[in-house]
């Protein structure tokens, strides 16, 4: 039974209180066909909404089977509607993009029926309302009378004890109205039927009770037929909507309106492209501008280079090199390792080249310009193709003689001829590599060792910091010093005084015991030493050229092994250790000169990404909300039919998830076509080359989370107010 005792409904709008109805008292029973009539604004529809649980009330008490409802929360009213109420709306509230079958089926899916339980019930009810031949027809193609029959079938298939109908014949002609009322009376046997109408003539003959309202009050309550059997209202059977039905409805809603699908697809496409482009753009910028590795002692920090010394600190022998070459992962060996990291400069007139030395035997491939060397003083230069001297002065570079002069050694000039040029592609390093013959490398060995050694001079019982230079004018075992040094001795004589020159580095230490054989002054400087440009602030000590070369012309104590596969570098290092070597990865000496800058950029990237995600979320939510406004009636109809907040949210979750996933897959497909050269977009291909599986997964997770947050936010709007108020207002 349904009882109302002094129930009132008020509306509050901008501080103004309006009355829906006041002090209503009713006692309604199963089997009644109650008609509520009155002029527009009399409160009859408001009363019907309160009885059906679509709206709340402020005063009095409404009882269902003797249970009070004034304390009900919105969730409890949802349960109340699911258990007891079936609605037939004046405007039908059908899903126009659904078929007749799908509209009737919908209420059962929302109330937890499984697919196998649904079909027979739906078809039987469609047959009862005479629409079997229209079961697969979209509702949008039906007449008004047919739509109302669908609404009745949807209400009746739910099998609740109370059926409420708001103006069920208001939009129908007389004949259609009569058919609808007869169907309603027929299928509503043994139920409490409450019909609101302003046209009493259409339903008067079916009514067991007629209630007339005016200005929010009941002015007549005429019982035309006595209902003696006071049965309790029996709750209809319902369960939570199944996961399968949620997915079924979510996927159905994704594609049921093409325009909506395309608009949502475009929004998620924009979000996906924006996120991937932002990340790839930062990665490209970091690669082009922020990667600056270097080392104080090594210029080649290749991942394929292993620097080796012997564990016993002795120099390498040919036998050692043969064993290393026999390793399966060895590509080639640079015996004079120090050449790799020692920079030299060749010059001619106003053209100069600065770079590192390599053995011509280690040159891969052939030259791009010129030819391979034939004489020992002919060399190949390897450089970036965009380097100015290579790209603009080619004719001035090839087949020209260049001079190498070691620091301060004016009398030791080495002449070379550049006969070939090899390009380095996609390389931002503008330093050159010089490929020299083995004899030429041997001539330069002492010079390179000199750059890695310390020279000290013990003279007059103390260590000094004089510069030591070679000269062919000095006899073996002798040294030539400045005449001014004689003032450091008490006897004023410097000739025949002992002098010890010591050369030391991390590999060896060697002493050269000499005596002063001659002295130089400003006037005889060039004649005695062979050098020009005398300076009173630099008073070098000159020794014999051969002796000078001998202390630096030593066998290799350090070499480099270049391997074929960097992935197997650890295994190769273990094999080198078993050969008595002490290996080190060249890349372990890397120092990132822009490490601090990169940390700042990481923070900026994080901040920009977070801001972008937030901005994209609100922009996309605003747009999606506008798109979904057209679906406001759909989702509030789900709510009126018994859907809970969780089920509505989950259906919307699935719809947005499917749409966002399809948009994401479309972007991935486009990227795949570009990477397979089926579509030509060079810049996009370059950007996407910086994206790894990790980035794609993270971006997809972000997109999915955003879609779920949007669904939740929109769903909360739908359930913020009572069902009827939400239906009547824009979300």
Q: What was the pLDDT predicted at 5?
A: 96
Q: What was the pLDDT predicted at 429?
A: 62
Residue corresponding to tokens 């499917």: 658
Q: What was the pLDDT predicted at 593?
A: 62
Average the pLDDT over each of 357-361, 543-547, 597-601, 726-730 and give the range with the smallest value.
Answer: 726-730
Summarize pLDDT for 267-313 with one digit per residue, the tens. 999 999 888 888 888 777 766 655 555 565 677 888 999 999 999 98
Q: What was the pLDDT predicted at 438?
A: 87
Q: Are 612 and 275 in contact (CB under 8 A)?
A: yes
Query: Token pair of 129, please?
Result: 């309302």
Average the pLDDT over each of 18-27, 286-295, 599-608, 623-632 and give the range with the smallest value.
Answer: 286-295
| CATH of region 2-239, choose from 3.40.50.2300, 3.30.70.20, 3.40.50.300, 3.40.109.10 | 3.40.50.300
Rounded CA gap, 692 and 699, in Å? 11
Summarize pLDDT for 364-388 with one digit per residue, the tens. 889 999 999 999 999 999 988 888 7
**Hey, how many other C-beta atoms are within 10 angstroms of the C-beta on 515?**
12
pLDDT > 70: percent of the chain? 94
Query: Average pLDDT in the 485-508 region?
Result: 90
Q: Are 531 and 469 in contact (CB under 8 A)?
A: yes
Q: What was the pLDDT predicted at 213?
A: 94
What confidence tier does 466 reach under pLDDT thresholds 50, 70, 90? confident
Query: Average pLDDT in the 173-189 region?
Result: 78
Q: Are 9 and 205 in contact (CB under 8 A)?
A: no
Residue 155 has pLDDT above 50, yes or no: yes
Query: Average pLDDT in the 590-602 region?
Result: 70
Domain ranges for the chain: 2-239, 244-289+595-728, 305-449+555-592, 453-546
Residue 15 has pLDDT above 80, yes or no: no
Residue 625 has pLDDT above 90, yes or no: no
pLDDT > 90: percent of the chain? 39
Q: What was the pLDDT predicted at 445?
A: 79
Query: Token pair of 447, please?
Result: 């010079």
Q: Are 151 and 89 in contact (CB under 8 A)?
A: yes
What confidence tier does 163 reach under pLDDT thresholds 50, 70, 90? very high
Query: Average pLDDT in the 641-667 region?
Result: 91
Query: Average pLDDT in the 548-556 region?
Result: 87
What confidence tier does 538 reach under pLDDT thresholds 50, 70, 90? confident
Average the pLDDT over each of 20-34, 148-162, 583-597 and give the range with the smallest value.
Answer: 583-597
Residue 451 has pLDDT above 50, yes or no: yes
Task: Tell me the pLDDT of the chain averaged across its residues.
Answer: 86
Rounded CA gap, 31 and 728, in Å? 31
Q: What was the pLDDT predicted at 123?
A: 93
Rounded CA gap, 20 and 24, in Å? 11
Residue 51 has pLDDT above 60, yes or no: yes
What are residue 7's DSSP bridge partners? 24
Residue 407 has pLDDT above 60, yes or no: no
Query: Token pair of 76, please?
Result: 């409890």
Q: What was the pLDDT predicted at 458?
A: 94
Which of the pair, 516 or 288, is modelled with greater confidence?
516
Please tell me what DSSP assigns to residue 233: P
What confidence tier does 188 reach under pLDDT thresholds 50, 70, 90? low
Q: What was the pLDDT predicted at 730?
A: 47
Radius of gyration over every alpha carbon of the chain, rounded to an integer in angstroms: 47
Q: Are 138 and 74 in contact (CB under 8 A)?
A: no
Instruction: Return phi, psi of residue 370, to 5°.
Output: 80, -140
Q: What was the pLDDT predicted at 372?
A: 94
pTM exceeds 0.75:
no
Which of the pair, 723 or 240, is modelled with greater confidence?
240
Rounded CA gap, 730 and 280, in Å? 40
Query: Average pLDDT in the 394-412 region?
Result: 74
Query: Average pLDDT in the 599-627 region?
Result: 84
Residue 721 has pLDDT above 80, yes or no: no
Average the pLDDT over each of 108-122, 284-298, 705-719 and give the range with the smallest value.
Answer: 284-298
Instruction: Return phi, psi of residue 437, to 5°.
Output: -75, 160
Q: What was the pLDDT predicted at 595?
A: 65
């Amino acid at each position: 039974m349904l009882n109302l005792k002094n129930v009132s409904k008020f509306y509050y709008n901008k501080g103004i209180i309006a009355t829906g109805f006041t002090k209503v008292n009713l006692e309604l029973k199963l089997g009644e066909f109650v008609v509520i009539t009155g002029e527009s604004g009399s409160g009859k529809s408001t009363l019907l909404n309160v009885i059906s649980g679509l709206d709340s009330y402020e005063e009095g008490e409404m009882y269902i089977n003797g249970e009070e409802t004034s304390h009900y929360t919105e969730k409890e009213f949802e349960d109340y509607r699911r258990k007891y109420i079936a609605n037939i709306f004046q405007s039908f509230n059908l899903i126009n993009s659904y078929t007749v079958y799908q509209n009737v089926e919908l209420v059962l899916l929302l109330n937890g029926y499984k697919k196998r339980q649904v079909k027979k019930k739906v078809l039987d009810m469609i047959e009862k309302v005479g629409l079997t031949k229209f079961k697969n027809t979209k509702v949008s193609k039906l007449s008004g009378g047919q739509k109302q029959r669908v609404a009745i079938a949807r209400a009746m298939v739910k099998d609740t004890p109370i059926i409420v109908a708001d103006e069920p014949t208001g939009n129908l002609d007389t004949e259609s109205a009569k058919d609808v009322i007869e169907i309603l009376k027929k299928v509503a046997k043994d139920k409490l039927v409450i019909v609101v109408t302003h046209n009493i003539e259409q339903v008067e003959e079916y009514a067991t009770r007629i209630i007339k309202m005016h200005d929010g009050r009941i002015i007549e309550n005429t019982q035309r037929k006595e209902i003696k059997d006071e049965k309790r209202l029996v709750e209809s059977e319902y369960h939570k909507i199944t996961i399968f039905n949620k997915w079924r409805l979510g996927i159905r809603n994704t594609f049921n309106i093409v325009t909506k699908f395309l608009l949502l697809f475009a929004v998620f496409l924009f979000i996906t492209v924006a996120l991937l482009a932002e990340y790839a753009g930062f990665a490209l910028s970091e690669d082009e501008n922020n990667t600056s590795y270097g080392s104080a002692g090594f210029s080649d920090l290749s991942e394929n280079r292993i620097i080796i010394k012997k564990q016993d600190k002795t120099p390498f022998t040919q036998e050692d090199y043969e064993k290393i070459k026999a390793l399966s992962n060895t590509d080639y060996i640079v015996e004079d390792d120090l050449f790799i990291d020692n920079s030299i400069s060749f010059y001619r007139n106003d053209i100069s080249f600065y770079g590192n030395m390599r053995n011509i035997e280690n040159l891969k491939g052939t030259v791009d310009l010129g030819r391979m060397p034939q004489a020992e003083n002919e060399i190949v230069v390897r450089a970036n193709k965009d380097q100015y001297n290579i790209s603009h002065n080619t004719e001035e570079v090839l087949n020209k003689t260049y001079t190498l002069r070691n620091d301060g050694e004016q009398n030791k000039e080495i002449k070379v001829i550049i006969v070939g040029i090899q390009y380095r592609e996609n390389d931002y390093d503008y330093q050159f590599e010089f490929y020299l013959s083995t004899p030429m490398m041997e001539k330069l060995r002492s010079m390179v060792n000199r750059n890695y050694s310390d020279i000290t001079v013990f003279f007059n019982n103390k260590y000094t910091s004089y510069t030591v230079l070679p000269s062919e004018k000095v006899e073996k075992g002798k040294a030539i010093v400045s005449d001014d040094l004689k003032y450091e001795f008490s006897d004023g004589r410097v000739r025949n005084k002992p002098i010890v020159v010591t050369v030391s580095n991390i590999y060896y230490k060697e002493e050269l015991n000499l005596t002063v054989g001659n002295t130089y002054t400003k006037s005889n400087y060039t004649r005695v030493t062979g050098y020009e440009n005398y300076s009173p602030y630099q008073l070098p000590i000159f020794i014999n050229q051969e002796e000078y070369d001998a202390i630096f012309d030593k066998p290799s104590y350090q070499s480099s092994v270049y391997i074929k596969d960097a992935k197997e570098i650890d295994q190769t290092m273990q094999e080198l250790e078993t050969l008595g070597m002490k290996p080190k990865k060249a890349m372990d000496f890397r120092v990132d000169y822009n490490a601090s800058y990169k940390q700042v950029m990481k923070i900026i990237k994080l901040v920009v990404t977070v801001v972008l995600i937030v901005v994209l979320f609100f922009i996309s939510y605003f747009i999606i909300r506008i798109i979904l406004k057209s679906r406001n009636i759909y989702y509030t109809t789900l709510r009126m039919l018994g859907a809970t907040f969780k089920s509505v949210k989950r259906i919307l979750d699935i719809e947005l998830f499917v749409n966002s996933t399809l948009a994401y897959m479309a972007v991935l497909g486009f990227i795949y076509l570009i990477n397979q050269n089926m579509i030509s977009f060079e810049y996009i291909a370059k950007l996407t080359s910086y994206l790894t599986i990790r980035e794609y997964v993270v971006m997809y997770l972000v997109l999915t989370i955003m879609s779920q947050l949007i669904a939740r936010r929109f769903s909360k709007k739908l359930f913020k107010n009572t069902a009827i108020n939400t239906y009547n207002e824009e979300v």
